[in-house]
Structure 1
């Protein structure tokens, strides 16, 4: 069983990521881990914070001589902005005059609900932990899950299919998704240049008006075998677990598996994926195939061997340069919502964070199914299962 937890605040000294359950012997490529962290920081419409931070993974435990050793992996990501907040957010009591309170809650954020829950006089501590800065820890942990899955030939990437009203009107191929994520300059992570240009116009428009914009990202799991998850219990279904993991991300308000939304307004004959059997002449193993993948690679809570496709629907960021109406915590008087330095659009970054959550979920199911205290044992068990499917 692979478990992940995080610690740290948005403007605290560092973020901590803890992953338990990885088998020993997984090769660790720190350049890959740091590129994943870099990818989370990219995208047109990001705010000033990304100009301050250069996120790097500092591995504290669980990795020696370039490989995991079976013990918990702890990762530290230092916040460079901490030097500007040491007196505002000290560990000890500090000088109250230097504390930076959040006096009025932002509509759409956790500010008010969190302050009520924990009986805080303002929303500063809520903001610090509820911030999407926490997703940095998830990306670091997800990178390790990806490294484990890579040993089995399973890859996970994302792309953006909608920003505001600009939407990709076709299905992206895996090769296109790989190509857009290999770029060293990230705009909005869309595989189609014309659609991406319209997405950029959406971001520019809301930027001029002091607003924010959301959208939809799609995460694709490529190379996963049939048989992950189960229909036997409600809390073991793959689609439910993926929905939970992606919905847990900040600002995600809906999750779709495959073409689930379209399926709800279609006839069964239009959306269920007809099954065929591939008889290939090039010596490769034959297998059951589907010419379409409306189910998103999952049927009955179990992966069916096609690409697993998960979409996340991201609301606009709730911190606006043109603030909405709110109420002061102290006087209950009407005022504008507080403003903290923020982004305009984070859909590409949210896709990278969702990749991490999907990777952690898939890695956990893989480890449960194939086991193994070492990567060698896991790969041996996995290979035996793949041979079983091929000879079915």
Structure 2
């Protein structure tokens, strides 16, 4: 399985093409639109979300709500393009009129300056239009397809918010949920995707105060996945380690600056006897672990325990009280450009991170259980699970 995306933030469309999805997978527009709505329904978002109402269109690879086994092409229309069609025109040369929104004062922390230098763009809009997080719309769409595939073998994936600034969810509450669906019912109820009402109120207060100050705020998100077969990924080569692939996918999301599995950085303060997940066996479960400090991975492979991934999201670099910058034309000091933006991306980032984890898990499943048809893939997974239980 592989995919690619295309599209600019204020261009006409966001586009994705996915290859390697088996034929016969049930796939409906509603499956994807519901995930796109989750991405948009996030406390702290800006005015752009009042314009866009993202809905996907299948352009290829799906017929009568079933995948064909051929490449799947998807697009989402950018409604805001109608306000930018002259500025973002592809078939007319640059003029004084269509470069009115030219960007020449790069924002600290954004791709503006380095991207302009690398690609020799004298209008930094050519950088920010693609480096914008609007592109993650299609990653969420691809993730929705991946989640549909994973669901056919009993794998569930869910993301929520750990903290926004100093306001934190009470992670000790995780143990009270029987499964991820029960957890989902709680976190999706809160506008901040927090774990509890107290944390949700505190997070909203932080966001409101930050917005009033013309600032932005970051935080952390956590993604969990359950129902995975043992042995996805491999120890034999560094580039086959599944946790490494997930780490790369997470840090590849706009504004993500760190990732950990299980106990993560806290394990640096532990002793081995307090950290390793001891191994047990029962006739009903086969091999299992008595704990999950390592977050579902050993040697770059899934252990069968829940995957636990936590990631850090930096504050958005577009500030309504802009920071020191330099005009790239005159080289004179100037305040950075202001673009329409959010106060925080953390709430939406939980959905995007969830999508990226799902994509990497789906890739790993298809690497191990390669099949042209979804029924054959399910048969392979079932046979392998039976083999593992009797190991």
TM-score scaled by length of structure 2: 0.95
Aligned twin of 2:267: 263
Residue in 1 that maps onto 2:210: 206
Backbone CA RMSD of aligned residues: 1.5
Structure-1 residue corresponding to 2:104? 103
3-state SS in 2 of match to 1:200: helix
Query: SS state of the match for residue 19, structure 1?
Result: strand
Question: Matched residues in 1 for 2:358 and 2:182: separation?
Answer: 19
- Give the Cα–Cα distance (whole angstroms) in 2 for the partners of residues 66 and 327 of structure 1: 52
2: CA distance, partners of 1:131 / 1:186: 26
Secondary structure of residue in 2 paired with 1:98: coil
Query: 1:385 matched to which residue of 2?
Result: 384
Q: For 1:163 and 1:386, how far apart are their aligned partners in 2? A: 39
Partner secondary structure for residue 322 of structure 1 = coil
Q: CA deviation at 1:162?
A: 1.0
2:220 corresponds to 1:221: no
Q: Does the 8 Å contact 2:143/2:355 carry over to 1?
A: yes
Give the Cα–Cα distance (whole angstroms) in 1 for the partners of residues 197 and 289 of structure 2: 29
Secondary structure class of the residue paired with 2:351: helix
Query: What does 1:224-373 correspond to in 2, within 5 Å?
Result: 224-278=228-282, 285-373=284-372
Which residue does 1:85 correspond to in 2? Answer: 84
Mapped partners of 1:274, 1:202: distance in 2: 40
Using the alignment, how far apart are the partners of 1:343 and 1:299 within structure 2? 38
Question: In the aligned structure 2, how far is the partner of 1:180 from the partner of 1:54?
Answer: 26
Give per-residue Cα distances to partners, 1:109-162, cap 9 Å, x unaligned: 000000000001121010000000000010111111111111111111101111
Q: Does 1:374 align with 2:373?
A: yes
CA offset at residue 202 of structure 1? 1.3
Q: Which residue of 2 aligns with 1:48?
A: 47
Question: Contact 2:190–2:197 (CA<8 Å) still a contact in 1?
Answer: no
Superposition deviation, residue 179 in structure 1: 4.3
Corresponding residue SS for 1:221: strand
Shift of 1:200: 1.4
* Pairwise CA distance, 1:358: 1.0
Q: Which consecutive unaligned segments of at least 5 residues does structure 2 have?
A: none
The whole-number CA distance in structure 2 between the counterparts of 1:193 and 1:229 is 37
- Per the alignment, do residues 17 and 306 of structure 1 end up closer, same or farther by CA in structure 2, a change over 3 Å counting? same
Q: Does 1:112 align with 2:116?
A: no
CA distance in 2, matches of 1:113, 1:11: 21
Q: Quote the offset at 1:362 in angstroms.
A: 0.7
- How far the C-alpha of 1:272 sits from its partner, in A, is 1.7
1:148 matched residue in structure 2: 149
Equivalenced residues, count? 386
Post-superposition offset of 1:278: 3.8
Question: Does structure 2 conserve the Cα–Cα contact (< 8 Å) formed by 1:158 and 1:177?
Answer: no
Distance verdict in 2 for CA 1:185–1:191, change over 3 Å = closer
CA distance in structure 2 between the partners assigned to 1:278 and 1:44 by the alignment: 45
Corresponding residue number in structure 2 for 1:282: none
Q: Secondary structure at the match of 1:39?
A: helix
1:326-347 Cα distance to aligned partner (Å, 9 max, x none):
0111111111110101000111
For residue 19 of structure 2, what is the aligned residue in structure 1? 20
1:233: Cα distance to partner?
Answer: 0.2
TM superposition shift of 1:258 = 1.2
Q: Distance in 1 between matches of 2:359 and 2:40?
A: 20
State the secondary structure of the residue aligned to 1:97: coil
How far the C-alpha of 1:288 sits from its partner, in A, is 2.3
How much does 1:180 deviate?
5.6
CA contact (8 A) 1:180 1:190 kept: no
Q: Residues 159 and 177 of structure 1 are in contact (CA less than 8 Å); yes or no, is this contact kept in structure 2? A: no
What secondary structure is seen at the aligned counterpart in 1 of 2:129? Answer: helix
Match of 1:117, SS?
helix
Shift of 1:88: 1.1
* Range with bigger deviation, 126-135 or 266-275: 266-275
Pick closer, same or farther for the CA change 1:242–1:324 going to 2, 3 Å: same
Q: The residue matched to 1:76 in structure 2 has which SS?
A: strand
TM-score by length of 1: 0.95
Preserved contact between residue 170 and residue 195 of structure 2 (Cα < 8 Å): no
Give 2:8's aligned residue.
9
Contact 1:176 1:191 in 2 (8 A): no
